[in-house]
Amino acid sequence: MIELNLENSTLEEAKEEDLNNLLEKIHTRKQGFYYTIDDDQVIEKINRFAKENSDFEHIVICGIGGSALGAICLQQSLGHLYMNKLHVLDNVDPVMIKELEEVIDYSKTLFIVITKSGGTIETLSQYNYFSNKIKENGYELSDHMVVITGPQQNPLRDEAEKEDLTIFDIPEDVGGRFSVLTVVGLLPAKLIGIDIEKLIKGAKEMRDVFLNPESKDNLPYQLAKTQFDLSQKGKVMNVLMPYSQKLVKFADWFRQLLAESVGKDGKGITPINSLGVTDQHSQLQLYNDGPNDKLYIFIEIKDLRPEITIDSPYKTTFGELMQIEKNATEASLTKSGRPNITILVDSVTEETLGQLFLLFEGATAFLGELMGINAFDQPGVELSKNLTKKALLK
Q: What percent of the chain has pLDDT over 70?
A: 96
Catalytic residues: 260, 281, 385
So what's the pLDDT on residue 385?
66
So what's the pLDDT on residue 12?
73
So what's the pLDDT on residue 387?
65
Note the pLDDT tens digit of each residue in 165-215: 999 999 999 999 999 999 999 999 999 999 999 999 999 999 999 999 999
Question: What is the rounded average pLDDT of the residues 287-302?
Answer: 97
Question: What is the rounded average pLDDT of the residues 147-160?
Answer: 95
Q: How far apart are CA 311 and CA 32, in angstroms?
A: 51
Does the structural domain 36-197 have CATH classification 3.40.50.300? no
So what's the pLDDT on residue 383?
64
So what's the pLDDT on residue 156?
95
Supply the DSSP symbol for 107: G
Residue 361 clears pLDDT 70, i.e. is over it: yes
So what's the pLDDT on residue 300?
98
By mean pLDDT, which of 81-90, 262-271, 377-386 is the weakest? 377-386
Q: Can 3-29+211-379 and 36-197 be said to share one CATH topology? A: yes
So what's the pLDDT on residue 381?
66
| Average pLDDT over the chain, rounded to an integer | 95
Question: What is the rounded average pLDDT of the residues 286-301?
Answer: 97
Backbone φ and ψ for 275, nearest 5 degrees, come out as: -145, 125
Residue 382 clears pLDDT 70, i.e. is over it: no
Are residues 157 and 122 in contact, defined by beta-carbon separation less than 8 angstroms? no
Helix (H) or strand (E) holding 151: none
Q: What percent of the chain has pLDDT over 90?
A: 91
Q: What is the dihedral of CA 24, 29, 35, 41, to 10 degrees?
A: 150
Are residues 188 and 63 in contact, defined by beta-carbon separation less than 8 angstroms? no
Q: What is the dihedral of CA 175, 178, 184, 188, to 10 degrees?
A: 160
Residue 389 clears pLDDT 80, i.e. is over it: no
Backbone φ and ψ for 90, nearest 5 degrees, come out as: -105, 30
Note the pLDDT tens digit of each residue in 37-67: 999 999 999 999 999 999 999 999 999 999 9
| pTM, rounded to two decimals | 0.95
Q: How far apart are CA 156 and CA 161, in angstroms?
A: 9
Backbone φ and ψ for 230, nearest 5 degrees, come out as: -70, -30
Our measurement of the distance from residue 316's CA atom to the centroid of its chain's CA atoms, rounded to an integer in Å, reads 33
Question: What is the rounded average pLDDT of the residues 143-151?
Answer: 97
Long-range contacts of 82-87 (CB under 8 A, 24+ apart): 84/192, 85/56, 85/57, 85/58, 85/59, 85/192, 86/59, 86/60, 86/61, 86/188, 86/191, 86/192, 87/58, 87/59, 87/60, 87/61
Question: What is the rounded average pLDDT of the residues 292-306?
Answer: 95
- In the Cβ-directed half-sphere of 186, how many Cα atoms lie within 13 Å? 29
So what's the pLDDT on residue 17?
80
Handedness of CA 329, 253, 70, 353 (dihedral sign): positive
So what's the pLDDT on residue 244?
97
Handedness of CA 359, 365, 366, 371 (dihedral sign): positive
Long-range contacts of 390-393 (CB under 8 A, 24+ apart): 392/121
CB atoms within 10 A of CB 323: 17
Domain boundaries, given as residue ranges, for the chain: 3-29+211-379, 36-197
Q: At what angle do helices 40-52 and 183-191 cross, to 10 degrees?
A: 30
Q: How far, in Å, are 46, 121, 146, 175, 230 from residue 43 at the CA level?
A: 5, 29, 16, 19, 39
Helix (H) or strand (E) holding 32: none
Question: What is the rounded average pLDDT of the residues 77-96?
Answer: 96
* CATH topology assigned to domain 3-29+211-379: Rossmann fold (3.40.50)
So what's the pLDDT on residue 314?
87
Of 197, 270, 216, the closest CA to residue 238 belongs to 270
CB atoms within 10 A of CB 270: 16
Residue 302 clears pLDDT 90, i.e. is over it: yes
